[in-house]
Amino acid sequence: SIPDVKLFNPTWTSGCSLGHEPFANPGFITFLTEMIDNKLYWMCNGNSIFGNSGGAVFLAETGDQIGITARVTVLQLGFGYDVQTWMGFSVAPQRIYEFIDEQELKFLYDPKDTFKKALVRREAKEKASKLMKVAEQEEGESSEGGADG
């Protein structure tokens, strides 16, 4: 489940800044409803820069992972760019769970699920997808044939 997170909750932002070995920076949750390209992000002010992407954001009090670092704010100033390292965006936990569910990986967080059950669901999804593609192709071929008729 997603922990109850509020503005100003202390966090740790981790990653491989500028290719360095992983390390963490302290910060706080500063925004919980940032929409970028129609996707939800959370903003933290723990310093983050290129290379942090894919790292984790943790709640300082519990150690729960609440995000995946993904973006930093960059402003163009004249002919140069200025990186705002204190305005880092992470993939919101809701989106992480959506991805896990879409990929049939629920066993990662649901103790009632198993890897074997996930494989069965994935195979069923794959079969259904293939059947749908075949049906679409057949429908396309039949409508093409009818037009020339």
Q: Measure the CA angle with vertex 67, ends 111 and 95; round to 5°.
A: 70
Query: What are the pLDDT tens digits along the chain (149 aa)?
Result: 677 899 999 999 998 888 888 888 999 999 999 999 999 999 999 888 877 788 899 999 999 999 999 988 888 888 888 888 788 899 999 999 999 999 999 999 999 999 999 999 999 999 998 988 888 888 877 777 655 55
